[in-house]
Structure 1
């Protein structure tokens, strides 16, 4: 029995298919991770920054408010 010779084109096709599947997987995982970060920014980070900013503004206004003299 003779062994059937493997064509180089079939090897390259399999390597290319594997590379394409890897790229698709990385893209999907990256899109999911980016979506998680955007969601966290709008639900946690942004409101927290606004609250801290309001506290800073209120604190600065009380310190720098001119004293009323009658």
Structure 2
């Protein structure tokens, strides 16, 4: 009789741990999804708008590479 009660207790404890792990997995998936959603809908557009504002203001990262001439010699074999 004692053995059966111990097994029942262990089964309930195991079920509780499994449900806790499943809940944490679902919660983590939700948080990850919300973070990715926020990144693509709020943060990334804000960075793009700020970058565009800086480029329009003339505060670029340097000279435009397409308009400068490359002075490096061409290597030939």
TM-score range, shorter chain: 0.7 to 0.9
Find runs of 4+ consecutive structure 1 residues off by over 2 angstroms: 4-7
Higher helix residue share:
1
RMSD: 1.9
Q: What is the deviation of 1:54?
A: 1.1
Instruction: Give the structure-1-normalised TM-score.
Output: 0.73
Partner residue in 2 for 1:43:
41
Instruction: Describe the superposition over 1:16-62 as per-residue Cα deviations: whole angstroms up to 9, x where unpaired.
Output: 0000000001110110111111011101110000000111122215x
Instruction: Give the structure-2-normalised TM-score.
Output: 0.67
Runs of 5+ consecutive residues of structure 1 not aligned to the other structure: 65-70
Aligned residues: 59
